Every structure is written in C-alpha cells, then in structure tokens.
Structure 1
C-alpha cells in the first residue's frame, strides 16, 4: 500500500477550501484500496488584518475584486450549487459576514491533538457557510467543540490563552514565503503542489502520478 501525506493549506472563510476537501475526499475514497492517506490542515488567512464588526460578504467581495455585488451574488450562487451537489451545507453563504479566523485556526490545531482536526475544520465550514455564524466568536467555536464531543472547558482554556498562536503564524508565514497566494493548496508528500479545488477525476490522476514516483 502506498502512503501519501497531504498538507492542505486553507482558510475557514474560503468556500473553495470546503469544496476542495469534499472533492479530495471523493478522490481518496476511490484510491483507498491501494493508497493510505494522512491529512494535515495548515493555516492560511485570506483576511488576516480583519478586526471589529463583520461586513456583509457581497459588498466586501465586490470591493476586494472590483466587481459588482450582483456578480458576486451570482458567483456565490454557483458555489452553493457545487457545494450542495457534494453534500455540503452552504445554505447561508450569501448571508455570512466577514470575520477573523485566527482563533478558529488555533482551535483546529488543538483538535488535531485529539485526532479530530478534519472534523473540526468541517464543523467550522458548516457553521460559517451553512449557518452564517461568526467563527471569530468563542461561543460559536465552543459550540463546534461540543458538537464533536470534545471538552469545551479545555477548548476554552486554549482560546483564552495564546496556545497555538505561534504555530499558526509560523505556518502562515511559511506558505506565503513559499509562494502560496490562494487556497486551497494541496501539498503532497512535501514535494508536489496541487493548486485549487480540482475535480475528483483530476485529483485521482494527480495522486496516482505522484504515487508512482514513490513506488
């Protein structure tokens, strides 16, 4: 059995990251008989300087990309359709607000200590895109912890401290210095980069080609 490690550079606030992982999961499932995969989530913030109250997502995106709000609405609607087909809850993708994701990234690191890193990431995607909840709010973060059956008291201690802060910052700096400017980015066996939320067929082909290098 071939072993493949996948480091996923992503942000909780990135809808394509949720879509990209869902597509990757399908590809890994198809390859599972011959491959053993390990997945690690790496931190990246699309809006690291965000402070204060959140802004409605459509005007924020329109300003960022120099497009109209209608264009942004249509783009988000297309993503919603793609996500729904993959079984993801993007019901309130248009209603969400911008927010800071730094503490959410710290919580993902903490969840990894309990073997629940991917589950935490998916829970955060669910509350942000499916329920338009503020993933910078510690109450929201702790609700995700509880939903996964992890210890909210221990998670609160992490959130109230600076635990994992240096690790998150180091990862963000490492990948920016490596030239990662958009997410998701899948780094395979620390050597190969697959950029963007590729379709499952493309991921299967890429992973098979990479796997052949390690045969």
Structure 2
C-alpha cells in the first residue's frame, strides 16, 4: 500500500499525525507499506531567510498570548502521543522549501521518512532553524550523509522542480490544510487523526494485498 503524506515541516499537527500513523501501522504489521512524503508549504510566500518567531505568531494568531494558548494545547496533545515538544525554543519560523528538498534527497537512499522525523525533531524539540542550509546539512549528517555534499546539493537546484510540482499538485487536488494522507492514490484522510482512524484504510490495504496474491495463485 502506498501512503503519501502531504505535510509541512513547520506544522506541529503534521508531526503528531506522523506519530499516530506509525502507531496505526504497528497495529497492522501485515500491511506492506511504502511511505512517501509529499511537500505542502503552509507559507509559500515566506522570505527565504524566514521570519522572527514572535512577529510571525503575532501576525498569524493576533498576538503572543493567543499563540501561547494554542501552543499549550499542541504541547499537551503531543505529550500524550510521546512527543515532548519545546515550542518555546523556536526563534525563527523558517521557509520550509529546502527542508522538503532535503527529504526528497534522502528518499533517493530510502531515508525520506527518517529525514522527516529528524527535521521535525530539530525544529519542534531543539528549536533549530530548519530553513538554514548549514542546519539542514548537519541534520542530514546525523543520518550518515556527508555534510559538504548535502550543502552543495542544497546550494544548487537539486529536487527544486520536484518540490514545486508536488506542492502545486497538492493545491490542484484542493488541499488547503495538512496533514493529509492519500492511500493508494484513491482514498484520503485529513487531519492529525487518532491511530484508530487509520485502521479501516489499512485493513482495506490488507484485503487488496491478499486479493492480488490470491489472483496470482
């Protein structure tokens, strides 16, 4: 079963949803799954260098107090899912385009899903600026990639067209919020759903999988 996750690296609900999908998959070990990350930029017009965090929160939520209340809900939810976020450490809201490129670069080596996890952790736990190419290269190095090689790829245009096209496809599909999960390019599930919400679609994947095997026999 192909599961494509449309998400953005600056979206805490995408991080929570990723963990919940993993828990659902652990409950359905018979499902043969290919996980594929698909980019969606919540702030496609963000400056390349990002934006100071307090200014961003004031613009998005109408003030830091309202943002603090929302962050508290997010952190409490994440804590219940085993993700101890530290949103207070974030100093800049980045442009996530290069982060999406890095995930696609890592996916060439079968490490796209692990790279997404590493970038989420770097941003939401360590408070790092994941729009900074040195930070991205260092994060990749933590997964065994060569720092200098990744920096060179990000300085160039590696995966630029692919990320632009994938983001455009998401908008053509009518996506306006993330996370959104597409199963076998036929069924969609939106939002940071509880693990149980994924199970019917995963069970459908098992049925289709066994149907194909039976037909082959």
RMSD: 1.8
Counterpart CA distance in 2 for 1:97 and 1:50 is 12
Select the residue among 82, 87, 96 that pairs with 2:82: 87
Residue by residue, what CA displacement relative to the aligned partner does 1:140-169 show, whole Å, maximum 9, x if unpaired? 101111111122222122111011000000
Deviates more, 1:205-214 or 1:122-131: 205-214
Aligned counterpart, 1:76: 71
**1:8 corresponds to 2:5:** yes
Select the residue among 21, 24, 38 that pairs with 2:21: 24
Select the residue among 111, 133, 136 that pairs with 2:131: 136
Would the aligned equivalents of 1:89 and 1:126 in 2 still touch at CA under 8 Å?
A: no
Would the aligned equivalents of 1:110 and 1:164 in 2 still touch at CA under 8 Å?
A: yes
Other structure's SS at 2:104 match? helix
Other structure's SS at 2:32 match? strand
Aligned counterpart, 2:182: 187
TM-score (norm 2): 0.89
Deviates more, 1:15-24 or 1:204-213: 204-213
Structure 1 unmatched runs, 5+: none
Structure 2 unmatched runs, 5+: 212-217
Aligned residues: 209
Shift of 1:92: 3.0
Select the residue among 128, 143, 148 that pairs with 2:143: 148
Would the aligned equivalents of 1:96 and 1:129 in 2 still touch at CA under 8 Å?
A: no
Select the residue among 23, 32, 35 that pairs with 1:36: 32
Would the aligned equivalents of 2:183 and 2:201 in 1 still touch at CA under 8 Å?
A: no
Counterpart CA distance in 2 for 1:201 and 1:74 is 27
C-alpha change, 1:50 and 1:109, in structure 2 (3 Å) is: same
TM-score (norm 1): 0.90
Residue by residue, what CA displacement relative to the aligned partner does 1:150-202 show, whole Å, maximum 9, x if unpaired? 22222122111011000000000011011011100000001111001100011
Deviates more, 1:142-151 or 1:78-87: 78-87
Deviates more, 1:199-208 or 1:22-31: 199-208
Shift of 1:123: 0.6
C-alpha change, 1:122 and 1:30, in structure 2 (3 Å) is: same
Would the aligned equivalents of 2:9 and 2:96 in 1 still touch at CA under 8 Å?
A: yes
Counterpart CA distance in 1 for 2:201 and 2:64 is 36
